[in-house]
Amino acid sequence: MSDCQGWNGRVVRTLFVSDVHLGCRHSQAEPFLEMLEQFEPRELYIVGDFIDGWKLKRRWRWLPVYDRILQRLMDLRRRGAQIYYTPGNHDEFLRGFLANFGVVEIKDRFVHRTADGRRFLVMHGDQFDTIEQNAQWLSWTASFAYDVLLSTNWLVNRLRGKKADPYAFCGMVKRRVKRLVRHVSEFEDQLVESARDADCDGIICGHIHAPRIVDVDGLAYCNTGDWVENCSALVEYEDGGFHLLRRDGSVIDELPAVGAARSNPQAAQPAAGAGCEDDEAQPATAALLAGK
């Protein structure tokens, strides 16, 4: 039985995904493809780190499923979907090819207008990661440490005989460094301010592998998550409302359309300043990993 059966395949207005990290051994490429096959988006935003150039440069690893993913993207384009790609730090080589290639349009940032008229700045977010921008060697080191942590986590759970939540150990470690990362990077605040400067109503980003929607000083901060640990994606429906979904189709967070009531009162509670301080609410990867 597919883990993605709850996505309820259908036409949606927009699909946002990030941090698939094709080329990384921990990329959840098969579940990602299953999700991609469940939806017929009119617009698809790939919000950075789709390809892990760092890993591929160190050791070439291109699996058959990656070709099937690219084929699915081509199929979506042939069916009329518009595809937009904003590179991240792991696929920054694409920043040298910013253009509209017919199949995909590549830019550092996009402004997406929702069905209900709101404007969202769309970018990966590494541009506002102070570690990535000022000490990339540390970011590379952190990325290596992250891979070791993921492998250790897998081994620990294998020895325990655990099949559920295979990255729980990673989450425990990362939550302990979340506050430090917030202070170092001020990641969310800076992205929200960038959206405000662009006269937008919110920001849609990736980079830190922490799926969440939260109100930050009156603007919406939406992080699509990743396909390494969380297997999450952001979906916009025909009314302009958003759901942040897990691989099983369950809702992590939501952002209702203008004038609509929240269907899940527990989702996406507003937070002051940089956002929620509940460790369980955000398994932040920013941690080790500004490099992610």
Q: Let me know: does 89 contact 291? Beta carbons within 8 Å.
A: yes
Cα 102 to Cα 97: distance, rounded to the nearest angstrom: 13
Residue 85 has pLDDT above 90, yes or no: yes
DSSP-based three-state secondary structure for 148: helix
Give the single-character DSSP code of 233: E
Residue 240 has pLDDT above 70, yes or no: yes
What pLDDT is recorded for position 63? 97
User: Tokens representing 86?
Assistant: 């904003």
Query: Domain 5-291 belongs to what architecture?
Result: 4-Layer Sandwich (3.60)
What pLDDT is recorded for position 263? 72
Cα 44 to Cα 18: distance, rounded to the nearest angstrom: 11
Between strands 39-46 and 119-122, the pairing is unpaired
String of DSSP letters for 125-136: SGGG-HHHHH-H
Give the single-character DSSP code of 217: T
Residue in 78, 72, 92 with CA at minimum distance from that of residue 32: 72
Mean pLDDT along residues 188-204: 96
Q: List the beta bridge partners of residue 51.
A: 22
- pLDDT tier, 124 (very low <50, low <70, confident <90, very high otherwise): very high
Mean pLDDT along residues 171-182: 54
Task: Compute φ and ψ for 81, nearest 5 degrees.
Answer: -70, 140
Amino acid identity, position 203: I
Cα 251 to Cα 234: distance, rounded to the nearest angstrom: 10
Q: SS3 letters for 252-268?
A: EEEECCCCCCCCCCCCC
- pLDDT tier, 186 (very low <50, low <70, confident <90, very high otherwise): confident
Segment (H or E) for 113: strand 110-113
167 against 278, higher pLDDT: 167
Cα 124 to Cα 205: distance, rounded to the nearest angstrom: 5
Cα 48 to Cα 91: distance, rounded to the nearest angstrom: 7
Residue 46 has pLDDT above 80, yes or no: yes
Most confident residue range from 105-109, 264-268, 274-278: 105-109
Give the single-character DSSP code of 90: T
Mean pLDDT along residues 9-22: 93
User: Tokens representing 250?
Assistant: 């369950």
List the domain boundaries for the chain: 5-291
What pLDDT is recorded for position 219? 98
Mean pLDDT of the chain: 80
Residues in Cβ contact with 219 at an 8 Å cutoff, skipping those fewer than 6 apart: 192, 195, 196, 200, 201, 202, 203
- pLDDT tier, 261 (very low <50, low <70, confident <90, very high otherwise): confident
